[in-house]
Every structure is written in structure tokens, then in C-alpha cells.
Amino acid sequence: MKDPKDWIAELEIEEKAHKAFRVRAQKVVDAYEDEKERDTSEFNILWSNVEVLHSALYGKTPNPDVRRRYLDKDKAGKQAAELAERAVSYALDVYDFDGAIDAAVDDYLIAGLGIVRVRYEPFYETKPGEPRYLEERVNGFSEEYEPTNGFFDGDEEVIDYLQDEEGFAYLEGDPIGEVVYEEVKCEPVNWKRFRWQASPRWEDVTWSAIEHYMDEDELKDAYPDHYKQIPLGYTINGEKAIDADEKARARIFEIFDKKTRKNIEIAEGYAETLKETEDPLSLEGFWPFPKPLVTTTKNGIFVPIPDYVFYQDQAKELDRVTARINALTEHVKYRGVYDASFTALSAMENAEDGTFIGIDDFQALVNAGGGGQGDLNKVMATMPLDQLIQALRELYVAREQIKQTIYEITGIADIMRGSTSASETLGAQQLKTQFGSMRMSKRQRRVASFVRDIIRLKVEVMVENFQPQTLEMMTGIELMPGTPPQPPPMMDPQSMDQYKQAMQQFEEKEQLKAETYKILTDDLMRSYRIDIETDSTITEDAQVEKQGRIEMVGAITTFLKEVGPLVQAQLIPQNIASELLGFAVRGFKVGRTLEDSLDELSGSDDDPKMRQMMQQMEQAKQQMQQQAQEQISMVQQEAGKEIETLKGKLYEVEKGRAVDKAVDNAKIYQTQVKADIDERSNKYETELKMLLELFREQVRLAQAEPIKRMGDLDGSLSEVMTIIQQRDQSLFDTIGALQSQINSTTSDVGSVRDMLNRPARAVKQKDGSWLATRDE
């Protein structure tokens, strides 16, 4: 295990490995901020490029898109995805998330390295701790609190203790902090304060660190046991030169050791570890930040190269051309000479518009012009500017060419500068936009992936560290165990049926809660069941969004138009049609709401009440068929007995024809009985079909309008159930007996304590524990 001395040595090695990068990056920052004093003019193309590229790479707060990884019918996965999306959407909205991302993108575009850290912050409320009950010992102290039995030496701390309602001795427990609110925020980490192990790839880095510069008050709050020994000597910017009116600060390193999964905090110049935390956030990848946002890296080593390096020569040339333009512009002035003998000419310099100046020697001016016409050019001459103006034109052209070269290097296309012509066709402008997007797409994907990884970290921090009740309050989705329904006081069959149904729904709901929470908190299951992405983090195309929605609505409308008649004709079962439509809808983000409606539409297969109704209807059908068959068998038996009786009587009375006649009469009677049986059987069957068809119609209406038609459905079910035999009462008798047993159960109260042996003082022993004793 490394001590602070070992970590300081590691940090010194890292400083040497990345010193060239930090020196180069600081020069680029200085050029961007442009705070140096100079005598010549420059063109800050770096600032302009950063502003343009920043707008192209990050334009708005991302919308989290959390959905099932596989778009199948997975209720727990769907609810887990919805809960995660609601939670992270709220977490993005309660603080300045854009500010953190903007700072990281600026560092990425200027210095070549952008970092955003995810920080978990719980808020506590102090509450009394659990009471500490004391061991009792009689005759431990005299009235003067002197030891009398060898247990104490007289130096112990003695205080009064408390007694509960039963007389037991206890002390109030230590106050405890109870979490009342939790949040997870993002904060940018300046590139100068981020340290990482020198490695070929980021994936090979095993430790990283963040520098903090803390004053004495901050040290006291963070490290109360060490702050007095920590040396101070830095400014808030990490400089060693401290002004008299500035607070001195200590240099603190917060080290993230991926090998041991520990956070270690040390101070420069202090030999002890300030704080060590075991896996503080329980993150799968350990780092509380995503892979740093970098532009170009050196070949074979993870060291960023700022973009400005690749066009710094052109930028310097641009500065030189700009300086020459400004210098020549200083010489482009309207100046000249005139004949000093014409003194009135000097007054023309300050004359107002439309003013004529009288002169005494006007005739001399006319004569100087020749031909009797006054010509001022004969008595004055201007400084020639043609060559200066031509030189300026060439310099302006050269500057534009240099700028265009820089735009080619950086990938800023003319469409990104808003330089399209109004006369261009829509297709031409779209082609320009696509070309510009293609050149920027790699950077946009890099920034979008960076933001997505931050969202994923926020979700992981919340589900790994937040309490279930916090997530429940934040999202409105229940996670805490509920209270089961209470059995009815009256054990009638109808009440028990309702209780059983409510209990079944409660158990299904609790099972869904448990599975949802398990998906969220299990790293492997969460990665298998849900996928966390974001929408585009650049300014979205509203027309494309609108067109996508129109296409989805059109597809659903066409599906219903084509498949609806087939469902009505019972050529396709309704649940199959609903599954097909749900399969299509689950592919759209907006389809999540539609999916809930589809589940309600096709919910007859999944709804417990509907399943129970269908089972009862099937049982009723079977019972009616059984009753009809029993009646037919009974009539047939009675007819057979009657025929045999008639045959015997006729055989004794008549012979021959008389017997034949009796047999014929018996056959006629048998035919009549059979016809009567068939009529009754058909009547039962017709009645059953009518009732079943009526119930099916009510089911279809209930599927279309579940709330409005549920009463009619229950009524139809009651009609079917009137022909079903009464249920067995043994179940109700058992439940009633169990309820009586529960109501009759009581508990005994503990034994009464001996008042004479109750202690009167609490004594703190040498080992820190407390003991209760009584005065003599």
C-alpha cells in the first residue's frame, strides 16, 4: 500500500511526462485570452474559431433517452428505463448542467483536454440516536461516589442516567445523521488541475488525481485532525507568489486509485494521509468522470495536442498581415500642399458644407488657372494614395486567403459561418449543410459520446447510492414496499372474491417493484435490460423531427385501416393485432406513451380481473353442459324403465298382435320422450350460446371503453354466474377461524423489576463503556 511519499513520487513522474503538454496548452490559453500588452494589432482567429466550433458541437441541454435494450414486452425493464430517465432528467434540471459542459468543451477546444466530474451530495438531518441501555450493578458507589466494591477507582465520570417507563436505566444515544435529500451534480475540472498516469491509452491508466487549493478554513472543515500541520504557500491559481492581501492555500491532491478502488487525499509537504475512502460511489468503472474529452493525441501515448498547434503558423501570418494593414491604413490620409501666396486657401480646410469663402486676390487665382477659368489644382496638390490603396487591397485579399486556409484546417465550412447566398437553391444549401456536417460529425460524435457517458454516470450514481424513497419522490414511480389489503370483516363470498382479487393485484405490483429495483441496482442486469443514450446535443432540425412524427402517425393510421376490418371479422385475434402494433410503436421514443394505451387496449390477456372473468365463464359453460347431459341421461333411463314395464304387462294380457301394438306404442312414446329431451337440450344450448355471445360483446365493448363499460361487463358476468352452483364454504370457514385466532392472540408483559435494586447513577468505565449503579 502506497503512503503519501510514494504518491508524491508518482505525481512528480507524471509532471515530467506531461510537462510539455501543459506548457504548450498554457501558451494556447494565453493566445486565446489575449491579455498581453503589444504595440501592433493582431487578429484573434483562435477566439473566433472556438466560438464557432463550440456552437456547432454543443448547442443545448441533452434530453436523456433511456429505453429497453431489446424492444420486447418487458414491464420491469420498461419501468426501470422510465424511472432512470425521469430521475436523470430531474437531476439535469436543478443546476447549471450546461455551464459544466460548456467549460469542458472550451477546455477541449483551447487546451485539448476537457474533464467533467460527477459528484454525489447527500444532505443530512440530525436526529436522536437509539437509547443505550446500561448494565446494572447494586452498591457500586457510596453517597460521596467513592468506590466501595473494587469495581471503580474513583476517577470515573459520573452522570445521572434516564429511566424508561419500566424503570430500565439508559443513556441517550449519540445523535445520528439521517439522509433527507440526495443529489448528483457535475462540475468541470480545469485541465491544469487534472493529473493522470502516463500510459499509451486511457484504458491503461490505473490512477488519476485532481488538484485542490484550500485555505485554512476549508482545511479545518475537511480535515479537522490535520489542518494545523498542513503547510500553506499557494494562491488559488496554484502559483507560489502570494500577495499580502491574498489568503495562503495548501496544495491538496485527491487521488483515484483504480487498482485498490480507493480515494486517497494527501497534502504536499505533509507526511500523513488526510483521508482514505473505500470505493466511495460503487461505480462499475470506478472513475467519477468519463474518458477525458481530447482532440488529437500523440502517437503511442495518451497526451493531448491542442488544435491551435496545427494552424499556429497561419495564425501568426494572419497577425503579420493584419499589422501591415493597420500600418498602411495609418498613412492613407487626405493631405497636400498649396501656394502660400493664396492665404485664403487655408480657410477652406475647416469650412462647412456649402460655404463660399471670399478672397481679396480672386483675379490672381483666375489668372493662375489659365484661360480665365479658376483652377485650384494649379495652386495646390494632394498626396498620391493610389499605390497605398492598391497595397491595402492586396493585403485584404491575402488575409482572406489565410483565413480560408485556417478554416480548411479546422474544418469550419462556409455553411457554418452563415455565408450561403439567398439566390442558392434549397438543394444547394442542403448539400452545403451536409458537407459541413460531415466534416464536423467526428467531433460532434465525440462530444455527444462524452455527454452521454456523463448521463450514464449520473444514472449509475443515483441507482447505486440514492435511497429508494428518494428515487420514488423524484420520479413518482413507486419502489418502496406497499401495505397489503386488509381482509374484509364479513366473510361473505363476494367480499372474499374482492379481497382475493385485490391481494393478487398487490402481489403482482410488489413483484414488479422488486424486479424494477433489482434491474436498476444490479450492474450486469442494468446493462443487459436498459440502454442509456441522449438525443443530439447540437441544435436539432425541427423539420426532420416533425417529419418523423408525421411518418409514425401515418404508419399507425395505415395499419389500423388495413388490420382493423380483419380484427372485426375475427380473421385476426385482437391480441395478435395489438402485439404487431406495439412492436412497431416501441421503436419510437414517443411510442412509450402509446404503448401504455395499447397495453390497456389488449389488456384482457394480462389483466387479472379479465382472466378471472374468462375462467368463470368457461366454468359456467362446462357446468351447464354437464347439467344438460345429466338431465338427458335421467330422461333416457326413465323412458327405458317405462318401456320395459309396458312390455311385461302387455305380454301377460295379449299375445301376438297385442304385444306388437304395445311395442309400437312404446316406440312412439320413446320417440316423443327423445324429442322432448332434444328440445330441452337445444334450449339449454341456445340459452348458453346467447349468454356467452352477450358476454363476448360486453368484453369487446369493455376493451374499447374499459371504464365506461366495466359495469355492463360485471352485469353480464352476474347473469352467467346465476346458473353456477354455490361455492364451497370451507374456505371462508378456514379464513374466519384464522382471523379469530389472530384476534385472540395476546402477548405477556415482562416481569416487574425490583424497585430496591434500581440504580441511581451511570458511571463511565476506563474502556469507555457506561455502567449503571445505585447509591448505598
pLDDT tens track for 610-621: 455 555 555 655
pLDDT at 145: 43
Tell me the β-bridge partners of 770: 764
Report residue 528's pLDDT band, with 50, 70 and 90 as the boundaries. Answer: low
Most confident of 233-237, 288-292, 663-667: 288-292
pLDDT tens digits, one per residue of 570-588: 777 777 777 777 776 666 6
DSSP secondary structure letter of residue 149: S
Report residue 724's pLDDT band, with 50, 70 and 90 as the boundaries. Answer: very low
Of the two residues 270 and 662, the one the predictor is more confident about is 270
In the chain, the amino acid numbered 735 is I
Residues 6+ away with beta carbon under 8 Å from 245: none
pLDDT at 407: 86
Confirm if 230 and 64 have CB atoms less than 8 A apart. no
Residue 393, pLDDT > 60, answer yes
Cα first-last separation, the chain: 56
DSSP secondary structure letter of residue 119: E
Backbone angles phi, psi at 124, to 5 degrees: -110, 155
261-288 CB burial, b ≥16 within 10 A, e <16: ebbbbbbbebeebbeeeeeebebeebbb
By three-state DSSP, how is residue 204 classified?
A: helix
By three-state DSSP, how is residue 750 classified?
A: coil
Residue 627, pLDDT > 80, answer no
Confirm if 94 and 183 have CB atoms less than 8 A apart. yes
Residue 536, pLDDT > 80, answer no
Most confident of 16-20, 93-97, 354-358, 618-622: 16-20
Percent above pLDDT 70 for the chain: 63
Tell me what the mean pLDDT of segment 630-640 comes to. Answer: 66
Tell me the β-bridge partners of 254: 210, 265
Per DSSP, the chain holds a count of helices (H) and strands (E) of 20, 19
Residue 720, pLDDT > 70, answer no
Among candidate residues 558, 527, 329, 537, the one with its CA nearest the CA of residue 440: 537
Which triple of cell numbers denotes residue 311?
494552424
Of the two residues 165 and 717, the one the predictor is more confident about is 165
Confirm if 574 and 582 have CB atoms less than 8 A apart. no
Residue 394, pLDDT > 90, answer yes
- Lowest mean pLDDT: which of 201-215, 230-244, 326-340, 658-672? 658-672
Of the two residues 667 and 185, the one the predictor is more confident about is 185
Place of cell 361487463: 713
Provide the H-helix boundaries in 196-311.
216-222
By three-state DSSP, how is residue 667 classified?
A: helix
Residue 51, pLDDT > 70, answer yes
Report residue 654's pLDDT band, with 50, 70 and 90 as the boundaries. Answer: very low
pLDDT at 61: 87
Measured over all CA atoms, what is the biggest interatomic distance in the chain, rounded to whole angstroms?
Answer: 180
Among candidate residues 271, 231, 272, the one with its CA nearest the CA of residue 248: 231
Q: How far is CA 344 from CA 64, 352, 365, 368, 415, in A?
A: 79, 15, 11, 15, 57
Residue 140, pLDDT > 60, answer no
DSSP secondary structure letter of residue 147: B
Tell me the β-bridge partners of 189: 115
C-alpha 542/C-alpha 535 separation (Å) is 13
Tell me what the mean pLDDT of segment 348-363 comes to. Answer: 76
pLDDT tens digits, one per residue of 543-574: 555 666 777 787 778 877 877 787 777 777 77
Report residue 23's pLDDT band, with 50, 70 and 90 as the boundaries. Answer: very high
pLDDT at 410: 83
C-alpha 399/C-alpha 328 separation (Å) is 14
pLDDT at 261: 95
